[in-house]
Amino acid sequence: MTVQPDWGCFATPHGNIHMPCFAPVGTQATVKTLSPDEVREVGAELVLANTYHLYLRPGADRVARLGGLHRFMGWDGPILTDSGGFQVFSLSDMRKVDADGVTFRSHLDGSLHRFTPELVMDIQAKLGADIIMALDECPEPLDRAYNEEALARTHAWAARCAENQRRPQEQALFGIVQGGIFPDLRLESAAFLTALDLPGYAIGGLAVGETKEQMYATLDVVTPALPADRPRYLMGVGAPEDIVEAVARGLDLFDSVMPTRIARHGAIFTRHGRVNLRNARFADEPGPLEEGCDCYACTHFSTAYVHHLIRASEIFGLRLTTLHNLRFLQTLMRDIRNHIASGTFHAFKASFLRRYLCSKKTHSEATHP
């Protein structure tokens, strides 16, 4: 379990992860709409799955009996499971937090459950992911008093997770830096977690209500305070412009449901910005979603066909937009890695953002410039 400094390669028992990396999210042990083969084909190396969801259904013991998460979902590459903290604080119907853990009601059936650092380590050991996360509390990023209070718990829980890890030889435990948009809290959190000497560190609690400027400013403060020779993971961020900005600040790893979620609403990434395929202007477009894209959707079907499928609520349309968006991000990550290697990242960043954020162009101009 080693990472090579400076945009290297993070080794796991299920293969290497080339950094910087974007991980598609397979919340319920499936990247929505796709087969594991398709996830591999778009170029993804790492898949994220959600401890909260899998604990509730089908259950960690069941997944373990069936051979672990890799075998269960048919994905033989690296997997990262989150700690469930974020979902408990955003999805569950009721939650009551105390020093020892958090009690919550399932969003599925209202049943009562309790997560402690030890149980979350136990669940993630049973699931068997390659990278596991410490239990954290996820407060509103702008609420100072709540962030101060929650941070003490998040740190105590991280220490207990590190002490109670079940399979340290096979699973890399990452800590999660919290502290909202407050520089002093973020630095305190980075210092505390760094002292635990973990194989990687995540920045949590961003992209959930603050402005982009506040997010970038927080990254400016906290990223340099985390070891550069370990992966630095920005949780829940998948917008192309945010990934590019975060890589410029030293971040290595990203995940988000956004690329797959917007795909299921008919929205796709292009080099010239986001495009909504439901728009009537695509009804007669014979060209691909994006000229030059090598994804399955772009190499096999017209934009008019995908538009038709989306308008007709056909599942195959959601597959095609999902494949395109994930391929777009994997191509972006590959370009980022290449430009870092050749020392041209900052020029690439400027040119990418100029094109991507110029949203006034029509799709026709965008795909056939």
Catalytic residue numbers read: 82, 255
Distance CA 72, CA 30 (A): 10
Segment lying near a copy of itself (by CB under 8 A), choices 33-41, 114-122, 236-244, 337-345: 33-41
Q: Is 65 in the site for a copy of itself (CB under 8 A)?
A: yes
CB of 301: closest distance to a copy of itself in angstroms? Answer: 6
Select the residue interacting with a copy of itself from 2, 4, 57, 94 (CB under 8 A): 57
Q: Which residue has the tokens 């042990």?
A: 29
Select the residue interacting with a copy of itself from 2, 66, 338, 346 (CB under 8 A): 66
Select the residue interacting with a copy of itself from 94, 152, 195, 283 (CB under 8 A): 283
Q: Is 228 in the site for a copy of itself (CB under 8 A)?
A: no
Residue 357: half-sphere exposure toward Cβ, Cα within 13 Å: 12
Q: Is 304 in the site for a copy of itself (CB under 8 A)?
A: yes
User: Is the C-alpha dihedral spanning 242, 248, 250, 253 positive or negative?
Assistant: positive
Distance CA 322, CA 267 (A): 9
State CA 288 to chain mean position distance: 27
Phi then psi for residue 76, to 5 deg, are: -95, 5
Measured in residues, the chain has a length of 369
Q: Is 282 in the site for a copy of itself (CB under 8 A)?
A: no
- For a copy of itself, which is the closer residue by CB, 48 or 190? 48
Strands (E), the chain: 9-12, 15-18, 21-23, 47-49, 79-81, 95-97, 102-105, 112-115, 131-133, 172-177, 200-203, 232-234, 253-255, 267-270, 273-276
Segment lying near a copy of itself (by CB under 8 A), choices 13-21, 71-79, 155-163, 267-275: 71-79
Select the residue interacting with a copy of itself from 10, 22, 52, 72 (CB under 8 A): 72
- For a copy of itself, which is the closer residue by CB, 66 or 152? 66
Segment lying near a copy of itself (by CB under 8 A), choices 56-64, 155-163, 191-199, 329-337: 56-64
Q: Are 84 and 48 in contact (CB under 8 A)?
A: no
**357: Cβ contacts below 8 Å, ≥ 6 apart:** 241, 273
Q: Is 76 in the site for a copy of itself (CB under 8 A)?
A: no
CB of 52: closest distance to a copy of itself in angstroms? Answer: 13
Q: Is 98 in the site for a copy of itself (CB under 8 A)?
A: no
Residue 4: half-sphere exposure toward Cβ, Cα within 13 Å: 9
- For a copy of itself, which is the closer residue by CB, 128 or 231? 128
CB of 12: closest distance to a copy of itself in angstroms? Answer: 22
User: Is the C-alpha dihedral spanning 291, 295, 296, 299 positive or negative?
Assistant: positive
Select the residue interacting with a copy of itself from 32, 40, 249, 349 (CB under 8 A): 32
Q: Is 368 in the site for a copy of itself (CB under 8 A)?
A: no
Select the residue interacting with a copy of itself from 13, 15, 28, 355 (CB under 8 A): 28
Beta bridge partners of 240: none
- For a copy of itself, which is the closer residue by CB, 6 or 314? 314
Distance CA 32, CA 27 (A): 8
Which residues of this protein are in contact with a copy of itself, per CB under 8 A? 28-30, 32-36, 57-58, 62, 65-67, 72-74, 283-284, 286, 296, 300-302, 304-305, 308-309, 311-312, 314-319
